[in-house]
Amino acid sequence: MRNKILTVTTVNEEKMNKKAFIKIMLKDEVLDPQGKAVLSVLKSSGYDNVKDVRVGKYIEVDFAGEVKDGHASLKEEAEEISEKILSNPLIEEFTIEIK
Amino acid sequence: MNNKKIKAGITVFPGSNCDADVYRVLNEVFGLSASFIWHKNKIKDLGGYDFIVIPGGFSYGDYLRSGALAARSPVMEYVKDYAYKGGIVLGICNGFQILLEAGLLSGVMLTNDSLKFECKDVYLKTLNTETPFTCALKKDSLLKMPIAHHDGNYFAEKKIIESLNHKNTVIFKYCDENGAITEISNPNGSMYNIAGISNENGNIMGLMPHPERSSEKILGSEDGGYIFQSIIKYIKER
């Protein structure tokens, strides 16, 4: 009996515990002052083969339940979150991986 | 109309830090009736206010992007309703960033090209005097005001810049003390030295420098006071 309950829990957890791994980068045409600063430090530290550095953000979003109503998939929901809130589409672009 | 009858609302988010300065200037210097609107305030209709100020600071610690989280807080929905109905909204510094993130103004603020937090006096050239924020000024007036920001490097795609120019909604540009708009007088790399813009209708303005820190002689400049005087004049004459 006990085993059975445990099994059910595991299945639910598997179903519910998806994460979106979201990478946000400034668009290529937007100057990245932070990247430029890191680049200059790398160069002055002797890594003179480094050509360019861009600094971005990496965000993990942990979903606790089913996909929100009105969305076909978690990917779609994560795309909406990324577009509306996590990134600013004027200057940034993002990629999403769901695991 | 007595100044005391003019009601101003000052939004307060966790991390706002110029709210008390704005409060002091509006109440003590100009004798208005200004009060705070906490971000969790449940008053949905802001129609009772004559104007709203979104003050500077570091709302939500500048997490994600400056102004991004505050722009999505409930009180901003009410500010949006208010602004769409023609209400006067002034965003100062972080308030400007919040207006951009909320989509009430166009464009975005990047990190200063100096990579430094810039805290100093700058000069501004007044380009448009037909707004509630500048109607007490003469065209090309020079104003001395302090800036204090890390992300004030205004950026927008070409289409938006063209629209700002076409609609005359670039209100202030950084300039030198003689009024020349030069690269050296640009403190943050802002496109075309843009320091303040409005929406097309002119009722919403974002401004990076701090008028509330330059409205009293003891603070070194009273020029910021013209912004508030303009708002008062506009409200009294409308």
The whole model's pTM is what?
A: 0.90
Task: Specify if A55 maps to a domain.
Answer: yes
Is residue B118 among the annotated active site residues? no
Q: Is residue A51 part of a domain?
A: yes
Contact yes or no for A76/A11 (Cβ under 8 A)? no
C-alpha–C-alpha distance, residues B130 and A56, integer Å: 41
Number of domains in chain A: 1
Residue A73 lies in a domain: yes
Contact B155 A90 (CB under 8 A): yes
Of residues A17, A6, A8, the one with CA closest to residue A63? A17
A58 in contact with chain B, both atoms CB, cutoff 8 A: no
Characterize the bridge pairing of strands B51-54 and B88-92. Answer: parallel
CB contact under 8 A, B111 and A91: no
> Is A30 in Cβ contact with B111 (below 8 Å)?
no
In this prediction, residue A15 carries a pLDDT of 56
Domain limits, chain B: 3-237
CATH code where residue A67 lies:
3.30.1280.10
In a domain, A9, yes or no: no
For range A23-30, the mean pLDDT: 94
Per-residue pLDDT of chain B (238 residues), as tens digits, is: 799 999 999 999 999 999 999 999 999 999 999 999 999 988 889 999 999 999 999 999 999 999 999 999 999 999 999 999 999 999 999 999 999 999 999 999 999 999 899 999 999 999 999 999 999 999 999 999 999 999 999 999 999 999 999 999 999 999 999 999 999 999 999 999 999 999 999 999 999 999 999 999 999 999 999 999 999 999 999 9
Q: Is residue A5 part of a domain?
A: no
Identify whether A43 is part of a domain.
yes
- At residue A16, the pLDDT reads 61
Residue A84's SS3 state is helix
Please tell me if residue A33 touches chain B, with a CB cutoff of 8 Å.
yes
Which value does ipTM take for this structure?
0.80
**For residues B109 and B149, what is the distance between their CA atoms, to the nearest angstrom?**
11
Cβ–Cβ contact B108 with A under 8 A: yes
Provide the pLDDT confidence category of residue A70 given band limits of 50, 70 and 90: confident
Query: Looking at the predicted structure, is the pLDDT value of residue A6 above 70?
Result: no
Residue B147 sits at φ, ψ, to 5 deg, of: -110, 155
Answer whether A85 sits within 8 Å of B101, measured CB to CB: no
Query: Is it the case that residue A8 has pLDDT exceeding 70?
Result: no
Whether A60 maps to a domain, the answer reads: yes
Interchain contact B163–A (C-beta under 8 A): no
Instruction: Give the closest-approach CA distance of B228 to chain A in angstroms.
Output: 31
In a domain, A6, yes or no: no
CATH class of B3-237: alpha beta
Nearest to A20 by CA among A73, A69, A90: A73
Q: How far is CA A83 from CA A22, A32, B56, in A?
A: 11, 20, 26
The confidence band for A17, taking pLDDT boundaries of 50, 70 and 90, is confident
B150 tagged catalytic: no
Q: Which domain holds residue A94?
A: 17-98
